[in-house]
Structures are given as structure tokens and as C-alpha cells.
Amino acid sequence: MRQAAQRNDARRPVPARILLAGHEVLLLPAGAAYLPDERLLVVADLHLGKGLAYASGGQMLPPYDSLDTMRRLLVLVHHWQPERLVLLGDSIHRQRLMEASLAPVAAELEELARSVKLVWITGNHDPALSGLPGEVAGEIELPGALRLRHEPAEDGHPEIVGHLHPAARLPTRAGRQRRRCFVVAEPRLLLPAFGALTGALCVSDPAIAGLFPASRSRVYLMLGEGLAELPMTAVS
Amino acid sequence: MVSPADSPLPPLFANWFAGRGWSLRWHQAQLLTRASARRSALLIAPTGAGKTLAGFLPTLVELSGPERNEGLHTLYISPLKALAVDIARNLEEPVAEMGLPLRIEARTGDTPAARRQRQMRQPPQILLTTPEQVALMIANPEARKVFSGLRQIIVDELHALAPGKRGDLLALGLARLRLLAPQAIAFGLSATVAEPDNLRRWLVDQAGGPAMADLVEVPRSLAAPADLRLLETEERLPWAGHSARHAMAEIYSEIGRHRLTLVFVNTRMQAEFVFQALWGLNEENRRIALHHGSLDVGQRRKVEAAMAAGGLDAVVCTSTLDLGIDWGDVDLVINVGAPKGASRLLQRIGRANHRLDQPSKAYLVPSNRFEVLECHAAIEAARAGEQDAVTSREGALDVLAQHCLGMTVAEPVHPEALYREVTAAAPYAGLEREAFDRVIRFATDGGYALRAYDRFAKIRRDGEGRLRVANARIAQAYRMNVGTIVESTMLKVHLGSAKGGALRYGRLLGEIEEYFAEGLTAGDTFVFAGEVLRFEGIVEDRVVTTRAHGKDPMIPSYNGGKFPLSTHLAARVRSMLADPSAWAGLPEQVATWLALQQGKSALPGPEDLLVETFPRGGRYYLAAFPFEGRLAHQTLGMLLTRRLERASLQPLGFVANDYAIAIWMLRDPSIRIAAEPEFLGRLWDPDMLGDDLEDWLNESALMKRSFRACAVIAGLIERRFPGMEKKSRAVTMSTDLIFDVLRKHEPDHVLLKAARADAATGLMDLRRLSDLLMRIRGRIVHHDLAQVSPLSVPILLEIGKEPVYGEARDQAIADEAARLLDEMGEAFGTA
């Protein structure tokens, strides 16, 4: 754990290891989680087609966001060789523009579907997914009653969720720094957004703080190389 | 003076002048003559010379005649909306007294929408407004009609407007106005500047090659010499820092000796500090007020009103009071800190005795030893009548993109015609057709190599190949986002309470920059709105504070100031240092300090670069004294550090201020220099501005900052859009992400080009850096010392007070995390 913070090997990003509902979970510096016992990779909030959705409203964001997101995802899949890839909801930024959003990444999507079994969890941006390679589900459950779903639920089940796009701010000698992060408080893991153009919400926001008791929650800030683990009380 | 016989004044005006005991001044007569000859002109005159009246006289004279009284005759443009409103009020008086049947109106962002619409339907004869409003008006489909009879354009404070993006926008606006009203002439009003030709070109059409407006310059002999000197202080002069704490007693006693004193400082934080310190001494209950741009508007208006009514003894203020507005009976100006430029100093001195025939009185208060040298140089420059130059600039492409979209909102336009039009504006005179086309493509659909957004295009071509805005929503979004001012994100500061962990906010005090608030943790105290406040936390977008009674503030944020030392002053400081006979006028402590430096090391020559190396605390330092200003030095620091890294000297960090730069490292550079005589020359070789710069730039936070501004100005990101107010806190995040994606996938995109150009001129001062590197080639003087030199002490004292950039930020997070985890030890276990 410490070595992640001390960056003793700058070239090879070191994942952080946590335990969640009896599963070993690796938090990857790229912003995804890997469960070795299930050979399952999970990412949240790709927001494919966000640039396109903005362009349709007159703000011409670069049309490369979907491509960028998919390529980073492919790198992860090739590296970890998972059996299943769970996309934790809000994979498509605007469901109405789904076809146009996926068109520029058709080849990448095909390659992804060839490499791994895809599980698309529906989110609030894409509540009715269809026509995608793989399986579509509202949520899935792993042994130990661990649920993988888009939004956190207060039903007491262990869960891995997305939706909230967490980021944390930390006062340092370089001033207060803000980075995307994972948030963990057994039995809940909140993933950062994986999409290239996705904004973020500070963990001090009631939407996140309300789910994670400060005294026993931890955050893992995404640095360019590696993660920095911190108690929730140290960040805002 | 002009004799009555040659006076170009009609009797009505001559009588009015006579009734006030005034006579027509030379420059006023000059502008009347230019107007009758239909010639544009640049009027350069010191503050208090009656510039504004000179600008308006021809208009008033023309409108007093029988032939014309309807429609918009004169458009006056000022950088400050307060100034536009103020001048409208001031004009009412002569107009009423002479019984001229005129409608004079101001139009700013604060003017109600209904009145602005009426102003387009029934324009007044004289309209006073801002560059942003000009952009809005010319983008109106009614523009052709409204401006068809325009005869006179007056641009006030041109020296302040022209050198920035607002100047670019206005130059493009003027180009359009010249098309709509070919008969109109333009007057520019400017404070004294060196090299006025750049402003003269700015005022007139460049389509037929370089052309210049006439120059009307008030001869220097008409301006009274200022009583200008350093304020003598008892206490020891500090080595570094910007608080000027040592001079507070003297400033306070000067306030007691004058009717109304303006105390100018360079930053808001300094203003707060000085205000606090003066009240700490205020046993005589002097009426001392505070005025800076972050204070709540209501509070500022109160201070301004009290000042005008003679109800104050002193006002501590920042440059919010710099420009043009007349504030009554100021008889002393005190400038705390270094003025950074000769022109800025003159502008501020001009606040005292706003009349040409009385000497203005101004004292300078340097806050550290280097500033003593700088203030001294500024005084010499002011006495010699020397000014900083307003350099010409290449118009920004993001501004051009905004303007071009606006022109398609006004009416359909052929790209060829639009290209001819914009290249008639001086900043864009050199614009290549290819660059123009890229800007149009950008404004149309983002201009990406991957043509993904054709169907969402904001600009479409009609049957005749003319460009026209795609739909009403785009037009409305354009109108809502017009302008080039991208403010740093501000957070509102409230007094409030923090009871039982719940933060509540109450009275609004003003606004502070987000980055400052972000650096605070609960319990930190800082000064704001004249009080010491305790930071409790941030709720939504509001900073909640409580009063910290009787405590010294813990956060000493005295940044040196926004402006780097001007080239002109830098040269003066260098030549003063090199010439001990010039030290006679300096305070004794400073002269002794310089003499000591001469003995222990050397003084930098006027054209040389002094480089010192010395060990200290187990590390090795390299200090240099280029005097090229903070921005250029910071860039230099980044680049030199990379080179030292490659030379395996293991640099750890650097610090830069306006005068010097110091880098510290683990290995001794003097050994290397002794072994390889060319090493220093190679280290400072101008080729560092090539690949090294490019690599660094791409990673740099400066680029992200300028990209954000470009993205907003060019319309990639809308600050406001129909039906929704976008929070600028969200913008900060998303433009950084956009930058990363764009740089990775289309590094040649026109917006990255614009951001790079901005960063190069604005944030890094590359032109100065490259001038420096060329100047010192073969002129580096190296002194290998056993210990720190007297001249190096101030820069070393600034170590640790500098912002950290780039990758170092990630390292700072990692270090902080490691520190916290160590501190908590096993209590905070790992899973």
C-alpha cells in the first residue's frame, strides 16, 4: 500500500489492494477495479459520445473522447485479460445519440467484444440499452452478495458503484490539489468516472459524504503514475 | 492657448468657455481642426489635461449646428463601464448649460434590456459604451441602420485597451464600423506612451497598407513636474517580502499631513494588509477606507461616495482606482511596493491634484531592497519623461473566431469580404488567408480533422456562398457569451457560523479567487474586507468565515503583484547597479548592501549576466541576475532545471522573482564549470527555446490556464447558454480534460495554437526571455563563492513561497499521503 504513495517504481503503476465482501479487489491507477478471483474488470461512467452530445447543442468539444476512452479500456483489457468486463452504467452519454456515439468506435467495440465478455449495467444516462454486444443488466451479483450497479443503494448489500464521479482535494505544499479518486468504506466501493471528458464531484459533497462515514472511509487519488491512499478525513 | 480670432470655437462655445474662465487649449483646438478635416487622430496627453472634453468638443460643436440632429452621431468606448456612466454625467452639464438639444446615453452590461433595445431602435446622438457592447451592437441585424450616420468614434484609455484581447475585439469592431459608416473618423485618447505609432495604426484602416492616424501630443512643458520621491523610513529595510510593514508609521503620519491620500498597492492582499496595519496605528481616528475589486460592489460605491463628499482622509486601493475616474481632492499619492513600470507610476501619480497647473505629489514606498532600486529607477524615468512602450501585437485567433461568428449573426457575409474586413484591423493586418479559413472552420463545427460535427454546424453557407448563423439558438448563445474577459473563478465570501459542525453563511463580504480559497484549511486566518477572518469551510460556492478577534492573520499571501518588471525599468536598474556613482541617492542601507556585494562577489554589468555558484546547507546553488521580470524568470527556471537534470547535476528546485533566479541541486555545478569552460554558455544557449520549451509547455499548467480562456472566448465552451447558467467551477475541470484529449489527438488544432501563443506572450514572456538569451551570449560573468552573496540573500528568502507547477504536483500529493500515513502509523491499517 505504502509503495503506491511513495512511487518507488514510477514506470509501472502499482494497483492498490483492498478487501470487499470477501473479494480481493485491485484498484488500478487507470481508474478501474479488477477482481482476480472472478477475473472481472469493472469501469464506471464511460459517457461515450459526450463530445457529440455537446456538439449537437453548439459546443464543439473534440470528437475524440469516445475513441480515447475505448482505447484506454482496450489497453486495460489486454493487460489484465479478464473473463468479464462490467461497464457500470452511463456508458453512453446520451441514449438518443447512441448509434452516432458508437459509430466512431465501432472497430474498438468489436475488438473489445472479441476479447472479453461484456456486461452493460444500465445507468441514468442510458436506462434502456439495446443492440450492444454482450449482456445488459440492471445490476449483477457476485458471491458474498456483492452487487455491481450504477447508483449506490441503501439496501445494506455490499456494492461496487459509479454514478457520482468522485474527486478529492488535498492540501499539499503545492497548494490544494484535486484528483479523481476511488472511495472505499467496507462494504462499498465507489469508482471514479472512466470517460475522457467526464467532470467530477468533490467527496465533501453531501451526495458522496452522506454515503461514506468519514471516520472509516478511504480515498485513493489517481496520480499520473500510481495512486495515493488517504483517509477521508484528510481530503475534501 | 489659442487666440479668439483663430479659435475654431463657435460663439456659443466660446461664451461658455469664457463664462467658466477657461480658454481653449492647444490640443482641444487641434482635435477640432482634425475633425473638420475628417481625419482620425491619436491624442496623447497626461492625466488632467482635459482629454475627454477635447475628444467630445468636435461632436458638440457639430451637433450644435442647424443641419443635423437625428440618429447616432458619436460612439464613445471606454474600458470601464463606470467611466462610460461617469462621462455621460459629466457631459450633461455643458450640454445643458449651452442648451444643446442632445440625447446622451450610456450603455453597459448593467443597462436594462428594454433600454438597450430602445437604443437600437432610437439611438441617442451620443452613446457611451464598452467594447463588449460594441460587439453586441454590430452583431445586431439593425446595425447597418443604426450606424449608417455615425461620424465620430472616441476610444478612451487606448493605451490600456489596445495591448490585450479586448483591444483585438474592439479593433475588429472598428473595422466593421468603418464599413457601416465610411464617413466616421476615430479619436484615440491615451496617456503618455513611448512609441505611439502602434496606437496610431490601431485607429485606422490597414487595408491599403500601413496607415496611421494623426498624432496630437500635448507638449511635455505643459505638464507640471511631480514632487516625486522615496518615502524615508526609520526601520530597517527588509531583504525580501512585499508587506512594507516597516513603513506603516511614516505612511500614517503622511496621511495626517494631507487632505486626502490615496495609498496604491499592487494586489488585493497587500491592500488588506496595509489597511489592517494603518488601522492598528490609528490613534487619531483618521478616516481610512479600503477599495479593491474583490469587495462587494455596494461597499465600493460607499467608499467612492464618501471620497467624493470629502468624508475620508485616506483610501487604500488597488488598480481599481487606476483608470480615469475623477475622485476629487486627492493631494497625495503613496505607492506601496514597486510600480513595475514607468507608465503605471505616472498614471497613479496623476491621481493627485487632477489639474495640469499644480504639481502632483507622490511618494514611493519600496517594500524590500531590490524594490528600492526599482523605485529609484522609476523616479528617474518619470523625471526624464520616459515611458514604457505599448508594443504591437498579433490579434488573438480565439477573439477572431468570436467576432466572425458575430458577423454571421448580423447578416450573411462572403468569406472573402470578411477576410478583407478583418485584415483592415491593425492586429490582424498580417493574418494569412489560411489561418483565417481555419478560424472560420473552427467557428463552424470545431474545425477538427475528423469531420464529425457537420450536421451541427453553427455557420452555414447560403446559395450565394455567404456565411450565415445556423439558427436562433446559436445567435442567442453568441450574444450571451460575447466578450474576452475570462475572470478567474471567484467564490463569494460570507461571514457565518460553524456550530456543531454545520456551516451557515450570513452577510456577504465580497469575492476571492478560488485558488486562494482552495489553499485554506479550517482554522486558517486571513485578512479580507479589512478584517481578520477565520476560514471555516466552503459550502456550495460560498466561503464561510467567522471573525477572528484580535489575531494576526496566519496566511501571509503577499504575492509580488500581477505585473512583471517592465523592460525599460529593468535596463535602468541594471545600469544603476553597475555605476556606484549613481548610488548617492539611495538609502544608506541599500548602498552598503551593494558595496558589500561588490566586495564579496561582483555587481552585474549593464549588459552582462552575473551568475554565482555557492554551497549552502548541503546543497549547491546557482543564482543569476537577469532582471527580466518574474514571468520570464519562471520560464527560464523551468528550462534551466531540465538542462541541469540532463547534465546530471540533480537539480531539486528553483525560485524566481522579478530580479533574480536561483536553482539548487545535489551536485556542485562549479566543478563542472571549472572543468568545462563552455558549460555555462551552453546552459544558457538560446536553443533552449526550441524542443525543451515545447516539451515543457505541453505539460504545463500555464498552457491549461490559457487554453481555458481561449476555449471560452472562442465559443468552444459557453459560459452562459440559453436556459441555463453554467457554473464556472465546472468549467475549470472540463477544459483541462478537453485540453488533454485535444493535445493527444489533434495537437495542431487552431485552439491549441491560440493557447500556445497566449502562454508565450502573456504567461511566459518568451520575447523577453529570448532577448535576454541573445543579449548575454558570451557575456556571462561567473563567480564561484564559498557562501551566499549579499545580492542572493533576497531570492533565497523567497524559497518555499513559490507556486509549484506540473508533475511536481503529483509528487506533492504522494509525499503528503506518505507523510499522513506515517503519522497515523498502525492506527490507520491497510486492508
Same fold, B227-383 and B601-695+765-805: no
Q: Which of B625, B608, B644 is nearest to B777 (CA)?
A: B608
CA distance B732 to chain A (A): 9
Q: Tell me the per-residue pLDDT of B682-735, one tens digit each, with 9 for 90 and over.
A: 999 998 888 778 777 776 667 887 898 899 999 998 877 665 444 434 434 468
Residue B515 sits at the chain A interface (C-beta within 8 Å)? yes
Task: Specify the pLDDT at position A2.
Answer: 33
Task: Provide the shortest C-alpha distance from residue B808 to chain A (in Å).
Answer: 8
Residues 6+ apart with CB under 8 A from B102: B60, B63, B69, B95, B124, B125, B126
Our CA dihedral for B162, B165, B168, B174, rounded to 10 degrees, sits at: -80
A75 touching B, CB under 8 A? no
Work out the pLDDT band at B88, boundaries 50, 70, 90: confident
Query: Domain B4-222 is classified in which CATH homologous superfamily?
Result: P-loop containing nucleotide triphosphate hydrolases (3.40.50.300)
The answer to whether residue B323 scores a pLDDT higher than 50 is: no
- A5 with B744: Cβ contact below 8 A: no
pLDDT of residue B556: 45
- Chain A residue with minimal CA distance to B541? A205
Instruction: Please say whether the beta carbons of B185 and B152 come within 8 A.
Output: yes
Residue A4, pLDDT score: 36
Q: State residue B247's pLDDT score.
A: 92
- For B231, list phi and psi in degrees, rounded to 5: -75, 125
Orientation of helix B750-758 relative to helix B397-410, angle to 10°? 130
Average of pLDDT values for B650-659? 85
Q: A179: which chain B residues are within 8 Å (Cβ-Cβ)?
A: 813
Residues of B in contact with A217 (CB under 8 A): none
Give the pLDDT confidence of B775-813 residue by residue, as tens digits.
999 999 999 999 999 999 988 887 765 555 455 667 777
d(CA A199, CA B268): 31
How high is the pLDDT of residue B829?
Answer: 41
Which residues are A18's β-sheet partners? A25
List of chain A residues whose C-beta atoms are within 8 Å of the C-beta of residue B737: 196-199
pLDDT at B138 over 80: yes
* CB-CB under 8 Å, B817 with A174: no
User: Is the overall model pTM greater than 0.80, yes or no?
Assistant: yes
pLDDT, averaged across chain B: 84
Task: Return the ∠ at Cα B756 (arms to B755 and B762), rounded to 5°.
Answer: 85
Distance from CA of B241 to the nearest CA of A (A): 19
CB A192 within 8 A of CB A182: yes
Which of B816, B822, B824, B826 would you mutate first to test chain A, the one with the most A CBs within 10 A? B816
Which residue of B456, B515, B820 is in closest CB contact with A230? Answer: B820
Quick one: closest CA in B to A4, which residue?
B814
pLDDT at B387: 73
> What's the first-to-final CA gap in chain B, in angstroms?
88
Q: Which CATH class is domain B227-383?
A: alpha beta
| Mutation choice for B interface testing from A26, A45, A59, A222 by most B CBs within 10 A | A59
The confidence score (pLDDT) of residue B225 equals 55
3-class DSSP assignment, residue B104: strand
Tally: H helices and E strands in chain B: 32, 27
ipTM, two decimals: 0.88
Which of B741, B749, B828 lies at the smallest CB-CB distance from A197?
B741
Q: From residue B802, give the alpha-carbon distance in Å to each of A175, B246, B266, B797, B798.
A: 10, 23, 18, 11, 7
Q: Does B109 touch chain A (CB under 8 A)?
A: no
**Which CATH code, of 3.60.21, 3.30.1360, 3.30.1490, 1.20.58, is assigned to A2-234?**
3.60.21
Cell of B478: 453568441
Residue B190's nearest CA partner among B176, B206, B203, B177 is B203
Question: CB-based contact (8 Å) between A225 and chain B?
Answer: yes
Q: How far is A163 from chain B (nearest CA, A)?
A: 17
pLDDT of residue B321: 59
Give yes or no for residue B189 having a pLDDT over 90. Answer: yes
Indicate whether B356 pLDDT > 50.
no
- CB contact at 8 A, B479 and B139: yes
- Whether B142 contacts B120, CB under 8 Å: yes
CB contact under 8 A, A223 and B716: no
pLDDT tens profile B100-109: 989 999 998 8
Percent helix, strand and coil across chain B, each to the nearest 5: 45, 15, 40
Q: Using CA atoms, how far apart are residues B704 and B529, in angstroms rounded to an integer?
A: 31
Using the predicted structure, report yes or no on whether residue B558 has a pLDDT greater than 70. no
Q: Does B449 touch chain A (CB under 8 A)?
A: no
Q: Under a CB-based contact definition with an 8 Å cutoff, are residues B546 and B496 in contact?
A: yes
Is the Cβ–Cβ distance between B405 and B444 less than 8 Å?
no
The mean per-residue pLDDT over the stretch A145-152 comes to 97
Beta bridge partners of B498: B503
Residues within 8 A of A (CB atoms), B 743-762 only: 744-746, 749
The predicted model gives B282-290 an average pLDDT of 93
Residue B824: its H or E element: helix B808-824
The answer to whether A200 faces chain B, any CB pair under 8 Å, is yes
Q: Quick one: closest CA in B to A49, which residue?
A: B452
Average pLDDT over residues B384-411: 89
B717 contact A CB<8A: yes
Question: Is there a contact between A67 and B446 if contact means CB atoms under 8 Å apart?
Answer: no
Q: How far is Cα B215 from Cα B212, in angstroms, rounded to an integer? A: 9
- In terms of phi and psi (left: phi > 0; alpha: psi -120 to 50; beta: otherwise), the region of B111 is beta
pLDDT tens by residue, A182-222: 999 999 999 999 999 998 888 988 899 999 998 999 999 99
Q: How far is A31 from chain B (nearest CA, A)?
A: 15
At B379, is the pLDDT very low, low, confident or very high (cuts 50, 70, 90)? confident
Pairing of strands A23-28, A16-20: antiparallel
Report the distance separating Cα A215 and Cα B260, nearest Å.
56
DSSP B238: P
CB contacts, 8 Å: B445 with chain A: 55, 60
Predicted confidence at residue A6, as pLDDT, reads 37
Question: Which residues of chain A make contact with B474, given a CB cutoff of 8 A?
Answer: 58
A133 at B interface, C-beta within 8 A? no
B interface test, pick of A48, A172, A179, A227 with most B CB neighbours within 10 Å:
A172
Inter-chain CB proximity A58 and B746 less than 8 Å: no
Closest listed residue to residue B644, CA positions, set B672, B618, B609: B672
Residues 761-820 of B with CB under 8 A from A: 803-804, 807-818, 820
Tell me if A43 sits within 8 A of A88, measured CB to CB.
yes
Interface mutation vs chain B, best among A60, A183, A189, most B CBs within 10 Å:
A60
Question: Which chain A residues contact residue B717 at CB under 8 A?
Answer: 59
The Cβ-side half-sphere exposure at A38, using a 13 Å CA radius, reads: 24
* Chain B residue with Cα closest to A167: B733
A45 and chain B: CB distance < 8 Å anywhere? no
Whether the upstream peptide bond of residue A187 has omega within 30° of 0, thus cis, is yes
Question: In the prediction, which pLDDT does B6 show?
Answer: 61
The whole-number average pLDDT for the span B53-67 is: 90
Q: What is the rounded distance in angstroms from the CA atom of residue A208 to the CA atom of residue A187?
A: 15
Instruction: Identify which of B452, B804, B824 has the shortest CB distance to residue A175.
Output: B804
A-chain CB neighbours of B818 within 8 Å are 2, 5-6
Give how far A160 is from chain B: nearest CA, Å.
17
The pLDDT value given to residue B198: 93
Reading the block at residue B692, the C-alpha cell is 525543451
B737–A234 CB contact, under 8 Å = no
- On chain B, the residues whose CB falls within 8 A of the CB of A63 are 446, 448, 450, 452-453
Please tell me which of A118-127, B403-412, B514-523, B566-575 the model is most confident about, judged by mean pLDDT: B403-412
Determine whether domain B601-695+765-805 maps to CATH 1.20.1050: no
Does A18 sit within 8 Å of B820, measured CB to CB? no
**φ, ψ of residue A214 in degrees (nearest 5):** -55, -35
Q: What is the mean pLDDT of residues B741-757?
A: 92
Write the residue in A18, A64, A224 that is nearest to B741 by C-beta: A64
Within 8 A by CB and 6+ apart from A95, the residues are: A125, A126, A127, A128, A129
- Residue ranges of domains in chain B: 4-222, 227-383, 402-480, 490-547, 601-695+765-805, 701-754
Say what the pLDDT of residue B830 is: 40
Q: Which amino acid would we find at residue B443?
A: A
B699 and chain A: CB distance < 8 Å anywhere?
Answer: no
| Type of residue numbered A231 | P
Which residues in chain B have their CB less than 8 angstroms from residue A236's CB? 538
Q: Tell me which residues of chain B, numbers 178 to 237, contact chain A at a CB-CB cutoff of 8 Å.
A: none
Q: What DSSP line would sit under chain A, residue for residue?
A: -HHHHHTSSSSSPPPEEEEETTEEEEEETTTEEEETTTTEEEEB---BTHHHHHHHTT----TTHHHHHHHHHHHHHHHH--SEEEE-S--BS-GGGHHHHHGGGHHHHHHHHHHSEEEEE--SS-TT--S-SSEEESEEEEGGGEEEESS---SS--EEE-SS-EEEEEEETTEEEEEEEEEEETTEEEPPB-STT---EETTSHHHHTTS-GGG-EEEEE-SSSEEEEEGGG--
> Residue B383 CA to chain centroid, in angstroms?
24
**Alpha-carbon span B513 to B516, nearest angstrom:** 5
Chain B closest CA to A186's CA: distance in Å? Answer: 10
Q: What percentage of chain B carries pLDDT values higher than 90? A: 44
* A48-67 per-position pLDDT tens digit: 999 999 999 899 999 999 99
